[in-house]
Amino acid sequence: MRSGRIYLDANASYGLLPQVAEELRSLLPELAQLGNPSAVHADGQRARALIEDARREVRALVDADPHDRIVFTSGATEANNAVLRAPFEGGRKGRVVSSAIEHPCVLEPLSALESQGVAVHLVAPDSSGSVSAQRVDEACAEPTTLVALMLANNETGALIPVATVAAALKERSPATRIHCDAAQAIGKVPCSFRALGVDSLSISGHKFGALSGVGALVVRAGSAPCALLRGGPQETRWRAGTENLIGIVSMGIAARVVRSSLEQRRAEMARSRGQLLAQLREGLPELRCNTPLEESLPNTLSVTIPGVDADDLVVALDLQGVALSSGAACASGKPDPSHVLLAMGMTEQEARATIRISVRAEQDAQKLYEAGAVIIETVRRMREAQQRRSA
């Protein structure tokens, strides 16, 4: 981001971690000379070695067993689409249980499956923004092919009890596949594939400090093969196409960095969020916090500021150098209010008055304080202008 600006939109894209930028810079002369990782010559084999190093780092980051599969993808969208599509290839029917607060890259493939005759049940969140394990369990009373749940919500930061769901379900219905979209959780809270007990997990590089356009699908050893892309031997035939070498290398570095400093990063994010929330509450006492602070990503703050148009506020803040979002960035630009906030029971008006602030662990406290002051001042000015218009 440009200097002088204050970036509070880490859930949209974290930005490159300084350590990743530095290591990539020193690797670039070598990367620029390397060959195709599938080639047998030394230039190809060095590229292959870098990819396998990155795979080891990602495996360690998500705490997967040595035999679990790590398939590099273009991001979590691709991984989620592939996992949802696989059991129903060739027009097979079945049933999926998911939640109403999933990312569009889960909800839209589910709508497509529904129109092809697959039964889809979306569990509603509670008012805290989380999804109750019991309600998911009840929804799985009928035979269910696949359960797809996110580990943390991108808009509110609410954590979803995926491990509890998986433990109950695996006991009762071992044939049901369980997929977890961990795109937002990685790098912010501990995430163990082993402990979650799910069959597959998707992650996204740019959400934790790597380049964008790279991610991974983690698949439990022994799972039925699922071709994400066909037409080549790459990724042991799970995903054809020449690998995104620099993206994968960047994700390996980011994985190493966030794994070795997770607790410290978590504490820094929580400190920043706490500081900003206290400042906003003092300056704007009518503000409502939608994030369940005790059970959430430490960096995410969804707040409703009654009477304010969030889209206008985001534009006004951007002009003053503060970047944040009025909902999910991937969905911004669309006129509809956030499906997550509506599913939590908000009115359309409340949803349209809601902003999402998501901080990075590297956030400077003084700069954050300045951003808080700009937000408060801008809201006051917008309100005054509104009052003048309606007077």
- Beta strands at 288-289 and 300-304: parallel, antiparallel or unpaired: antiparallel
User: Phi/psi of residue 314, each to 5°?
Assistant: -60, -40
Q: How far apart are CA 292 and CA 301, in angstroms?
A: 9
Q: Quick one: 105 or 165, whose CB is closer to ligand PLP?
A: 105
Q: How far apart are CA 303 and CA 357, in angstroms?
A: 8
130 binds ligand PLP (CB under 6 A): no
Among 215, 292, 298, 327, binds ligand PLP (CB under 6 A): 215
In the chain, what are the helix, strand and coil shares in percent, each to the nearest 5? 45, 15, 40
Q: How far apart are CA 10 and CA 152, in angstroms?
A: 14
204 binds ligand PLP (CB under 6 A): yes
Q: Quick one: 340 or 351, whose CB is closer to ligand PLP?
A: 340
Q: How many CA within 13 A on the CB side of residue 256?
A: 14
Give min distance, CB of 167 to ligand PLP, in A.
Answer: 22
The catalytic residue among 191, 226, 289, 330 is 330
10 Å CB burial of residue 138 (0-12, 13-18, 19+) is exposed
Q: Are 131 and 106 in contact (CB under 8 A)?
A: no
User: With CB under 6 A as the contact rule, which of the stretches 32-40, 49-57, 176-184, 383-391 interacts with ligand PLP?
Assistant: 176-184
Q: Quick one: 75 or 372, whose CB is closer to ligand PLP?
A: 75
Q: Which residues pair with 149 in a beta bridge?
A: 180
Q: Quick one: 101 or 270, whose CB is closer to ligand PLP?
A: 101
Catalytic, 226? Answer no
Q: Provide the 8-state DSSP code for 239.
A: B
291 binds ligand PLP (CB under 6 A): no
User: With CB under 6 A as the contact rule, which of the stretches 179-187, 235-243, 340-348, 358-366 interacts with ligand PLP?
Assistant: 179-187
Q: Contacts with ligand PLP in 313-332 (CB under 6 A)?
A: 330
Q: Quick one: 184 or 354, whose CB is closer to ligand PLP?
A: 184
103 binds ligand PLP (CB under 6 A): yes
DSSP H/E element including 24: helix 18-31
Q: Contacts with ligand PLP in 33-92 (CB under 6 A)?
A: 75-77
Query: Which residues form the catalytic set?
Result: 330
Residues that bind ligand PLP (CB under 6 A): 75-77, 103, 105, 150, 154, 181, 183-184, 204, 215, 330
